[in-house]
């Protein structure tokens, strides 16, 4: 029987591939047979991930890209298409977790978070969707957050622009999903709960009261472990989800259901 999760011969682009969830997903793509383009700002970190992928016998291209900078995204997408010729899978994962309430946030903070978390995704899609439509195949996976649908559980932690940007990602996902299914493109989003990464290790993981509240109010009783997001990413990235579009799956150990 055909393995519905097999990605052999596919080209996958991962933004924010230099650390955390994006790095883990890039390695999972290679493990399932895909060649990968790794995008982020830190070249050295990307090269370390690329070396691991090449050791697995897959191709890896690293491209320095600041997703908040339209020119940088344009040239990065051109470089990917020049190298691989086409793209099958786009994992829009790069993001920042700006803190603050509407009162605390500066306009610059707001714009930076929205430009990184949402406008960057729009730009990546803008440049890769035409080729996907032409080839009649594409899998787009947008990493939102459980904070698209719930506020942070700790009342001490306000992240109003983060909440806004992650909810906007789900809007983008819905609209694109409806437009492009006829072209063989599925567009879905994922809402991770708490996972340890550069984004969270020095803040949330070292904040005992936050961690206690999260664990006590999450049916799993713990944060997500390394690799626990990859099953959902691989599902949306493969033919296992060929009839699934515009969906948002929360991967949070039940944190959002209680
Ligand atoms: N960890 C969690 O608990 C959690 C929960 C919900 C949602 N998420 C989402 O998951 C995604 C990945 O986060 P993570 O937890 O893996 O955090 P992370 O380890 O901090 O990873 C963030 C990635 O985004 C990249 N990035 C940030 N700003 C960028 C920019 N302007 N241009 C290009 N790349 C940029 C970073 O690379 P460079 O610094 O090298 O550019 C890094 O590779 C984010 O969208 C985050 O909001 C995470």
Query: Residues 4-43: pLDDT tens digits?
Result: 999 999 999 999 999 999 999 999 999 999 999 999 999 9
- Determine if ligand 1 sits within 6 Å of the CB of residue 76: no
Mean pLDDT across the chain, nearest whole number? 97
Indicate if the pLDDT at residue 145 is higher than 70: yes
Indicate if the pLDDT at residue 199 is higher than 80: yes
Which ranges of 56-196 does DSSP label H, i.e. alpha helix?
A: 70-84, 107-114, 120-135, 160-180
* CB within 8 Å of 111: residues ≥ 6 apart: none
**Are the CB atoms for 145 and 252 separated by under 8 Å?**
no
Q: What is the DSSP letter of 224?
A: B
d(CA 233, CA 228): 10
> What is the pLDDT at residue 1?
60
d(CA 149, CA 131): 32
Residue written as token pair 């290790």: 201
- Determine if ligand 1 sits within 6 Å of the CB of residue 197: yes
Atom of ligand 1 nearest to the CA of 67: 32
- Determine if ligand 1 sits within 6 Å of the CB of residue 43: no
Distance 92 CA to ligand 1 centre (A): 10
Q: 162 catalytic, yes or no?
A: yes
In 3-state terms, what secondary structure has residue 11? strand
CA dihedral 227, 231, 232, 234 (to 10 degrees): 110
E strands along 11-134, which residues? 11-15, 35-40, 60-64, 89-92
**Are the CB atoms for 235 and 226 separated by under 8 Å?**
no
- Determine if ligand 1 sits within 6 Å of the CB of residue 200: yes
Which residue of 62, 95, 214 sits with most ligand 1 atoms within 8 Å of its CB, as the best mutation to test the pocket? Answer: 95
pTM of model > 0.95: yes
Which residue of 13, 17, 21 sits with most ligand 1 atoms within 8 Å of its CB, as the best mutation to test the pocket? Answer: 21
> What is the pLDDT at residue 228?
98
d(CA 1, CA 18): 35
- Determine if ligand 1 sits within 6 Å of the CB of residue 18: yes
Distance 2 CA to ligand 1 centre (A): 33
> What is the pLDDT at residue 209?
87
Positive or negative, the Cα torsion across 55, 58, 59, 60? negative
Catalytic-labelled residue, pool 162, 180, 214, 235 = 162
Note the pLDDT tens digit of each residue in 68-119: 999 999 999 999 999 999 999 999 999 999 999 999 999 999 999 999 999 9
């Amino acid at each position: 029987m055909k393995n519905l999760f097999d990605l052999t011969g596919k080209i996958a682009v991962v933004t924010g591939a230099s650390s955390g969830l994006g790095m883990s997903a890039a390695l999972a793509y290679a493990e399932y047979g895909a060649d990968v383009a790794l995008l982020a700002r830190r070249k050295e970190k990307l090269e370390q991930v690329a070396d691991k992928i090449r050791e697995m016998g897959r191709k890896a291209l690293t491209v320095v890209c600041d997703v908040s900078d339209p020119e940088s995204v344009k040239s990065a997408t051109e470089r990917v298409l020049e190298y691989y010729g086409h793209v099958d899978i786009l994992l829009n994962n790069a993001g920042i977790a700006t803190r603050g309430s509407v009162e605390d946030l500066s306009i610059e903070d707001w714009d930076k978070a929205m430009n990184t978390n949402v406008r960057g995704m729009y730009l990546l899609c803008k440049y890769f969707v035409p080729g996907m439509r032409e080839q009649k195949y594409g899998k787009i996976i947008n990493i939102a957050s459980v904070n698209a649908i719930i506020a942070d559980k700790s009342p001490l932690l306000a992240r109003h622009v983060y909440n806004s940007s992650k909810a906007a990602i789900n809007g983008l996902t819905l609209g694109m999903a409806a437009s492009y299914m006829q072209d063989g493109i599925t567009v879905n989003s994922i809402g991770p709960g708490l996972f340890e990464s550069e984004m969270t290790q020095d803040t949330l993981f070292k904040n005992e009261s936050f961690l206690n509240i999260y664990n006590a109010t999450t049916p799993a009783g713990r944060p997500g472990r390394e690799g626990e997001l990859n099953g959902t990413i691989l599902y949306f990235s493969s033919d296992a989800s060929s009839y699934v579009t515009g969906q948002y799956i929360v991967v949070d150990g039940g944190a959002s259901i209680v």
